Structure 1
Amino acid sequence: MSVRAQAARVRALLLTLVSFFVLAGTATGCASGGERPRVVVTTNILGDITRAIVGDEADVSVLMKPNADPHSFGLSAVQAAEFENADLVVHNGLGLEENVLRHVEAAREHGVATFAAGEAVDPLTFHTGDEGGPAEEAGEPDPHFWTDPDRVRKAAALIADEVVEHVDGVSEKAVRNNAERYDGQLADLTTWMEKSFDAVPADRRALVTNHHVFGYLADRFGFRVIGAVVPSGTTLASPSSSDLRSLTRAMEEAGVRTVFADSSQPTRLAEVLRREMGGDVDVVELYSESLTEKGKGAGTYLEMMRANTSAMTKGLTGD
C-alpha cells in the first residue's frame, strides 16, 4: 500500500473515531438533559395548586386520583418509588394521608425535601359542634385547611419558596410570576365567596356535613358547625346510634334541615339522617376532599370552591 493510501486510511479512521465520540457525547447530553426536575404531590387538591405554581418548570406527579378519598387512598409500588426520585415532596400533613405518610417519612430519611402544607398555615383544631365528638379527637389538628382560600394563599406562597429552594433547574422568576398570578386568582376567589355568602342570613349560617371537613370555611366566613353525620374528621369512622340521635337533636334545636355530603362518598349516612328526622331533610352534595376529572364539576381547586360556594348558598337560602 502506498504512503498516500495509508495516510488517507488513517485520516478516515480518525474521522470515524471523532464522529463516534461526538455522537456519544451528544447522546449522553440528551439523556441527562431529558431528566427534568420532579415534584411529587400526595393529594389532587395540592397537586392542582402546585401545578399552578410550578407551571412548565418541572414535572409535577400527583399520586391521588380524581374522586379518591385522601384518608384511605393507597399507592402502587411504582408510585411509592417516585418519592425517592423526587426533588421535592409536597403533602398535606396533619394526619390526612394516613396510608401515605410512611412513604413521605422514608423519602425524608433518604434526603428528599418534603413540605407539609397544612402544618405551615396556622392549623385549627377540630370543632365538633354542640353535640360533641369523640374524646380522642378533641383538640386534634384539622387537616382540611383548603376550605379557607386565605390559608391556601399562604400555602401557595410557601410552596413557591420550597420549589425555588429545593428543585434545581427551575427558573425562580417564572415560579415567582406563576405564584403571583395564582395569588391574585385566590384573592378574587375569597372576594367572590364573601359576596356570595352575604346572601345567607346569619340565622341560617349553620353547617351539617357527612364528617367534619368545613371547619376552616366556617371560621373564615362566619358559619356555625352544628355537627356531622360521622362525628369525626376522617371518613374512616362510622356513626353510632347515639351519634345520630345527638345530631338529630342539635339540628332540630338549630332549625337546620340541610346536610352537605361529600360527592366522592356515598350519601347513605345522610339518607339515614333524613329518615331519622322524618324525611324533611335536604341532602346537598359538595366537593370537599377531592377534585373530579376535568369537566366533571371540580377539575381544579378554584372550580371546586366556586361550585361548593354556590351549592352551599343555594342550600342554605332555599333559592
Structure 2
Amino acid sequence: MRRRTIAVFAALSCVLVGLTACAPGGSGRPSVVVTTNILGDITRNIVGDQAEVTVLMEANADPHSFGISAQQAARIEQADLVVYNGLGLEENVLRHVEAAGESGVPTFAAGDAVDPIAYTSGDTAGRPDPHFWTDPDRVIKAAALIADQVVQFVDGVDSTAIRANADRYRTELEELTTWISTSFARIPAGQRNLVTNHHVFGYLSQRFGFRVIGAVIPSGTTLASPSASDLRSLVTAIEQAGVRAIFVDSSQPDRLAQVLKQESRLAVQVIPLFSESLTGPDQGAPTYVQMMRANTKAISDGLAP
C-alpha cells in the first residue's frame, strides 16, 4: 500500500512539473536509478536490457556538487531500486535518496558495502573515503552486490541473465586489475608518489603501492578550498619527495595546480585524469574500464623513468 501511495504522489508530481512520461521511456519497464555516472556504467553492465537504468549525474560533472531536477527527483521516488555511492559523496542528492528510502524505495549504498577506508590527512581525516572506484577489486565486489540487489528488488528481471552479465563483467574487471598492476610495474617504488587536486586516490594507493604526498585541496571534497599555508606546505612536500607530476581531475579547474608548479623549484608536470566522472563518448573515458585504463597510462607515463 505504501508503494502504491508513492506511485500516486510521484505521478501527480510528474503532472505538476509538466512531464509527459515520468517513468523511464514511458514504457512501464522496471526502473533502476543510479546517482553517479561511474556507478551508472557499472550498473548498466550488470542490468543489460533487463530494466531501464537512469543515471542522474551527467558526463564531466562533479559528484560532490551536481544537483538534480524535479523530474529526476520524481524518478527516484518511482524507482524499483536506487543505487548510490554513499559515504557522503553525492552531497546535493543524498537527501532525495534518503527521502525515497524512508518512503519504501529500496536503496543500495555501494561505498558502504565494500570495506571503506578513512582519509588519513586533511580536514576530512578520519572520515570514510567515498572514492572506492579507484580500486577495481572493490568495484568487483560492488558489482556483485548490485547484481544481488537487482535480483532481489527489481521485479520482472531475468535473474539468470543478471548473473551472466555479472560474471562477464567480473572477468573484464579482473583483467583490468591485472593490466593495471603490470602497467604500474614500470614505476620504481621510490617514485610512486602522488599529488592530486584533492584526496581521491587513497584506494588506488592502497591497492597498488603508491604514497599520497598531498593534495592541492587538502580535503576529500572539491567544495573545500586550501589556505595559503596549505599550499606552502604542499610545495615543501613536493620538493622533498621529488614529485614528478601533479594529477588533476579533468572536470576541475587546474589553476591551483599550475600555481604549485610555478612555486616548486622542480620540473613538475600537471597531468589531467578522469578521477571522479566519466566523459562523453569521444572524450577519453566514457566507461569505467576506459577511465581506469586512461588514468593508469597517464600515471605511468607521468611517474615512470
> Taking structure 1 as the reference length, what is the TM-score of the superposition?
0.86
- List aligned pairs for 1:166-315, cutoff 5 A: 166-278=153-265, 280-315=267-302
| Alignment check: 8 A CA contact 2:239 2:266 kept | no
Instruction: Choose which of 64, 83, 86 in structure 1 pairs with 2:76.
Output: 83
Residues 175-219 of structure 1: CA deviation (Å, up to 9, x unaligned)? 000000000000000000000000000110000000000000000
Shifted more, 272-281 versus 65-74: the winner is 272-281
| Alignment check: 8 A CA contact 2:238 2:264 kept | no
Amino acid aligned to 2:70: A
Unaligned runs of 5+ residues in structure 2 are 1-25
| Alignment check: 8 A CA contact 1:196 1:309 kept | yes
Unaligned runs of 5+ residues in structure 1 are 1-32
Amino acid aligned to 2:222: T
Shift, 1:118, TM fit:
0.2
In structure 2, how many angstroms separate the alpha carbons of the residues matched to 1:158 and 1:198?
30
| Alignment check: 8 A CA contact 1:73 1:99 kept | yes
List structure 1 segments (4+ residues) > 2 angstroms apart after TM superposition: none
Amino acid aligned to 1:230: I
Identity %: 69
Give secondary structure in 1 for the equivalent of 2:289. helix
| Alignment check: 8 A CA contact 2:239 2:265 kept | no
| Alignment check: 8 A CA contact 1:126 1:233 kept | yes
| 1:44 aligns to 2:37 (yes or no) | yes
In structure 1, how many angstroms separate the alpha carbons of the residues matched to 2:234 and 2:109?
33
Amino acid aligned to 1:149: P
In structure 2, how many angstroms separate the alpha carbons of the residues matched to 1:140 and 1:102?
19
Amino acid aligned to 2:55: V
Corresponding residue of 1:68 = 61
Corresponding residue of 2:145 = 158
Corresponding residue of 2:129 = 142
- List aligned pairs for 1:105-124, cutoff 5 A: 105-124=98-117
In structure 1, how many angstroms separate the alpha carbons of the residues matched to 2:279 and 2:210?
26
Give secondary structure in 1 for the equivalent of 2:295. helix
Shifted more, 63-72 versus 246-255: the winner is 246-255
Shift, 1:295, TM fit:
2.1
Shift, 1:67, TM fit:
0.1
Amino acid aligned to 2:101: R
In structure 1, how many angstroms separate the alpha carbons of the residues matched to 2:296 and 2:120?
20
> Taking structure 2 as the reference length, what is the TM-score of the superposition?
0.90
Count of matched residue positions in the alignment of Structure 1 and Structure 2: 280
In structure 2, how many angstroms separate the alpha carbons of the residues matched to 1:34 and 1:226?
50
Rg larger in 1 or in 2? 1
Amino acid aligned to 2:36: T
